[in-house]
Amino acid sequence: MKKLFFLFLISFSFSTTVAQEQKPNVLVFYVDDLRAELGCYGSKTAITPNIDKLASDGVMFNRAYTQQAICAPSRMSTLTGLRPETMGIYSIFTPLRKIHKDVVSMPQLFNKNGYKTVSIGKVYHHSSDDKKEWSVYFGKEANTYNDPKNIAIIEQLKKEGKNPKGPAFDMADVADEAYKDGRASKYAIETLHKLKDDKFLMFVGLSKPHLPFNAPKKYWDMYNRNDFEVPSRNKPEGVYRLSLTKWGELKGYHGIPKDGDLDDELTRTLIHGYHASISYIDAQVGKVMQTLEDLDLRKTTTIIFMSDHGYKIGEYGAWCKHSNMEIDTRVPLIVSRETNYKKRKTGKTSKALVENVDIFPTLVDLCGLEGPEFDGKSILSIINKPNKKGDEYATSVYARGKKIMGVTATDGKWRYTEWRNAKTHEILQAELYEHKNSLLSYLNLSGNKKYKKIEQKMKKLLEKQFPRDKPFLQNDQPRKK
């Protein structure tokens, strides 16, 4: 009997060890301001061979959405599995831990479950959030300018006591590491060498193509600026007056006119810079992926490539994000499972509706952990079976100050948005756009009798997430001067 019991203990211990060993590593490329402007998503201009290769080695989601088209809340949502309306944080000025001390985050949970947790570059918007929960931490860096002319401009602005933010783009004939995303990939590669024998959750936060569009000259040289078309500056007919912004984020940079539309020449230059920045971060993805192969880690590492939100590069005569529009809320998402997983799917495109808030519960499911309650849900079954249906709808939110709340829902074809009084839920204006084959739509169909049934259907979907009798939680604090 003792012998049998001893054999049982050995067997149990072996099974437990095997189960632990089967838990994959996770590497997340978390990109800033990247819309689905990639070769694998059908872009006619973007040159992204490394990301395209990753897509061919995994599942690419065509209907992935962020929960808010602004950095801080969207990243908090990804890292907690909670929606902005659950946290009550809608601006970039409020850190997560200033309000929510007890919310369990992704680095917290993985840290407590024996994973080495790694944060490189921009992961949270606020570097102070969960800093102690990362085993290895390389904070986000300030933007680097390498063009002597731009450096001189910044120095002169400082002397004059003006905003030294600098120009909106920079290109110099320098190595990748001369700009911050090149350094981020360098840190990631060095860390992979150190942690190759450990279980790890690694976030590589790549800042480009966020403004300023600063990238080595060789990535600018990959493009012919005459290939870039200046998009229509027309705004959707019947658009709510606050649906789009005056893109103050771009206007804060030196050399950008404060009023009116940008001319075609400057528009082309910025579009060129956006693309150069994308090819720059594509090269960093390639370097890190090659390191995984060289260290024989790819077979045990699941890769996620994602963005915090979409972006406008002149569409609607607007720039940046900060809206509930399809072009700002739709994001690229690619998941490639560890190559040791025998049933992994490659070269597949999923039409399932998924959301960034689903990433945390998915990783909990993938790694066999016990997580907290989430607003999102695991999409692991879709990753394993890409033809499987996803959610019926996806939602996002965008507040215009304290008094107006914009809430939106999409079913993958139709986007319905309500702009409400944040206190009374009175609908100030509604918008209904069709997005069958495009990120853009130029006609608000809300109130059109021909689309009444569609609008009623979308309205019901929206109210499932944003009921009219539930107050909006608002934990944002005024910005301190």
Q: Residue type at 404?
A: I
Based on the residue annotation, tell me whether 71 is a catalytic residue of this protein.
yes
Based on the residue annotation, tell me whether 272 is a catalytic residue of this protein.
no
In contact, 392 and 414? CB cutoff 8 Å: no
Distance (Å, whole) CA 337 – CA 54: 10
Scanning 40-174, the segments in alpha helix (DSSP H) are 49-56, 71-80, 84-87, 96-99, 106-112, 148-159
Distance (Å, whole) CA 182 – CA 151: 19
Distance (Å, whole) CA 278 – CA 45: 11
Query: CA-CA distances (angstroms) from residue 354 to 73, 178, 344, 360, 369?
Result: 18, 36, 19, 12, 21
What is the full DSSP assignment across 212-228? SEE--HHHHTTS-GGGP
What is the full DSSP assignment across 435-446? -SS-S---B--T
Catalytic residue among 100, 125, 272, 275: 125
Hey, what are 83's tokens? 């929606």
Classify each residue of 195-223 as buried b or exposed e, where b means 16 or more C-beta atoms within 10 Å of its C-beta. beeebbbbbbbbbbbbbbbbbbebbbeeb
The residues carrying an active-site annotation are 71, 125
